[in-house]
């Protein structure tokens, strides 16, 4: 039996919104904030979920979903294990990209930039705010490393519970993507989509429209 599936006719027409130069903010962070607020108010499940794409020093890419925990004019912050695959890739190639997709609004946002670790006190503050069980999981998980079984992980978790250890591991903390490129994409009818780009040039944001 063939496992192939024809998806050529799996399509939808986008008609909910438009994105015009007259309505956008001159500041891409403000524009992102408006769209994130729309996604939150529209009831999208985890509107702060984003695809993080990194690459090795040789350019081999990998992507995964992480959660945005804060953003400002400085950049976009998320937290993870520094020894994970993404952490190792960031250490040797700090160029990265983020992608938000909000299907109910027919929108996506692409961001590009460079990543660096946040200051330790920010990681400490966020780790202290996490639920107890989430703290334990971060401590026991040697993220991306091979383990012998699920039971091995659960046994480590039970032992940690008994010890009462909840301090942030040194290999766990935040990263910030310092953005130099934004692309706001709004789905439009007949695939004639809106694409507005903000590109940082000499300290100022240059705005332009791309063909869909």
pLDDT, one tens digit per residue, over 135-184 is: 999 999 999 999 999 999 999 999 998 888 899 999 999 999 999 999 99
Residue 41 covered by a domain: yes
- For residue 76, the SS3 value is strand
Q: How far is CA 171 from CA 34, 37, 63, 139, 141, in A?
A: 34, 32, 20, 9, 11
> Which residues are tagged catalytic?
191
Angle at CA of residue 187, ends 185 and 188, nearest 5°: 130
Residue 192 covered by a domain: yes
From CA 47, how far away is CA 44, in angstroms rounded? 6
User: What CATH number is given to the structural domain containing 40?
Assistant: 2.30.110.10
- For residue 109, the SS3 value is strand
Residue 150 covered by a domain: no
Tokens of 197: 């780009």
Higher per-residue pLDDT: 181 or 2: 181
Domain extent, residue 203, equals: 28-130+170-209
From CA 60, how far away is CA 1, in angstroms rounded? 33
User: What pLDDT score does 2 carry?
Assistant: 61
């Amino acid at each position: 039996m063939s496992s192939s599936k024809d998806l050529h006719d799996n399509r939808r027409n986008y008609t909910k919104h438009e994105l015009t130069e007259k309505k956008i903010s001159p500041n891409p962070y403000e524009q992102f904030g408006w769209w994130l607020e729309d996604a939150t108010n529209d009831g999208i499940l985890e509107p702060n979920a984003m695809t993080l794409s990194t690459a090795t020093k040789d350019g081999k890419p990998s992507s995964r979903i992480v959660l945005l925990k804060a953003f400002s004019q400085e950049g976009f912050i998320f937290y993870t294990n520094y020894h994970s695959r993404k952490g190792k890739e960031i250490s040797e190639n700090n160029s990265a990209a983020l992608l938000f997709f909000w299907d109910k609004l027919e929108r996506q946002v692409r961001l590009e930039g460079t990543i660096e670790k946040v200051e330790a006190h920010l990681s400490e503050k966020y780790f202290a705010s996490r639920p107890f069980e989430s703290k334990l999981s971060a401590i026991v998980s040697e993220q991306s490393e091979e383990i012998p079984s699920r039971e091995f992980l659960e046994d480590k978790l039970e032992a940690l519970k008994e010890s009462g250890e909840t301090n942030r591991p040194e290999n766990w903390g935040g990263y910030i993507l310092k953005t130099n490129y934004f692309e706001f994409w709004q789905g439009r009818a007949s695939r004639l989509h809106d694409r507005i780009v903000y590109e940082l040039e000499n300290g100022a944001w240059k705005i332009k429209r791309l063909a869909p």
